[in-house]
Chains A and B, each alone.
Chain A
Amino acid sequence: EVQLVESGGGLIQPGGSLRLSCAASGFTVISNYMSWVRQAPGKGLEWVSLIYSDSSTYYADSVKGRFTISRDNSKNTLYLQMNSLRAEDTAVYYCASGAAFDIWGQGTVVTVSS
C-alpha cells in the first residue's frame, strides 16, 4: 500500500528543537518531490519546505534558517529538523509526495508553548 506516516510531533518549549519524520511505503522518497505543509489552529494551509529528486531544497521565508528538510534513502524517510521553535510554529504538519501532491500523510501535531 502506498502511504506516508508522519511522527515526531509533540509539545516543545519556545526555542527548542524537534525532528519530524515521514516514513514512506509503496514508493521511494528519492524518486519523488517531497514536501512539508502545515496548518496552524484555525488557519489555512502553509507550504513549509520541499526537496526535489536532485536533492535541492527550498523553504518558506517564515522557516528559512531554522528548519532543514532532508531524506534518508536507506530508511525511505523524509525529515524536517525544526530549530529555534516559536509559538507561531504550532500546527499540524503534513508531508506530501509527488509533483502532483499525490499522497499525503495524516499529519503530526506540533505545539510550541511554555
Chain B
Amino acid sequence: QAVVAQEPSLTVSPGGTVTLTCGSSTGAVTSGHYPYWFQLKPGQAPRTLIYDTSKKHSWTPARFSGSLLGGKAALTLSGARPEDEADYYCLLSYSGARSWVFGGGTKLTVL
C-alpha cells in the first residue's frame, strides 16, 4: 500500500500565506490521484475543502486553493485567519479508484 506524506506541522502568521503538500511513495502525484483536502477540528467531523485536485465546495472559503506543485498535491491558504488553525489531511486514490490512502495530516498553527 502506498504511503502518503504531509508536513507534520506548519505555522503561519495571521494574514499570511502557507502551502501544505501531499506526496506519494509511488511517484509524482497527478490529477489521476484525484487529490482531496480535508479540514479537521477537535470534536468535529471532517470537512472537505478541495476535491479532484482543485475543485471547491460551496462552503470552501475562497482563501483556500488546491493545485499540483512539483510532483505533489498542494493546498494553499492565502490570508490565514485564526479559525483556520486545524489539522489538514490529503487523500489520494490509487489503482483506478479501488484504493484510497490518507496522508498523516498537517497540524496548522496560526500564530
Pair A45/B46 contact, Cβ less than 8 Å: yes
The answer to whether the Cβ of A37 comes within 8 Å of any Cβ in the partner chain is yes
Cβ-defined partner of A44 (8 Å) among B45, B48, B51, B102: B102
Residue of B nearest to A58 (CB): B98
**A interface size (C-beta, 8 A):** 21
Pair B105/A100 contact, Cβ less than 8 Å: no
The answer to whether the Cβ of A101 comes within 8 Å of any Cβ in the partner chain is yes
The answer to whether the Cβ of A106 comes within 8 Å of any Cβ in the partner chain is yes
**Complex Cα spacing A99 to B34, Å:** 10
Give the chain A neighbours of B89 by CB distance below 8 A: 44-45
For the complex, would chain B's binding face be called helix, strand, loop or mixed by DSSP majority? strand
Residues of A with Cβ closer than 8 Å to B? 35, 37, 39, 44-47, 50, 58, 60-61, 94, 96, 99-102, 104-107
19 sample A-B contacts, Cβ–Cβ < 8 Å, listed by A number = A39-B40, A44-B87, A44-B89, A45-B38, A45-B46, A45-B89, A47-B91, A60-B100, A96-B46, A99-B51, A100-B48, A100-B52, A101-B36, A101-B38, A101-B46, A101-B48, A104-B48, A105-B45, A106-B45
Give the chain B neighbours of A50 by CB distance below 8 A: 100
Residues of B with Cβ closer than 8 Å to A? 1, 36, 38, 40, 45-48, 51-52, 55, 57, 87, 89, 91, 98-105
Pair B98/A102 contact, Cβ less than 8 Å: no
Give the chain B neighbours of A106 by CB distance below 8 A: 45
Residue of A nearest to B106 (CB): A44
Give the chain A neighbours of B36 by CB distance below 8 A: 101
Give the chain B neighbours of A96 by CB distance below 8 A: 46
A37-B46 contact given A100-B51, A101-B36, CB 8 Å threshold: yes
Q: Considering residues A35, A94, A102, A105, which has the most beta carbons from chain B within 10 angstroms of its beta carbon?
A: A102
Q: Which 4 A-B pairs have the closest CB atoms?
A: A100-B51, A47-B100, A104-B45, A44-B105
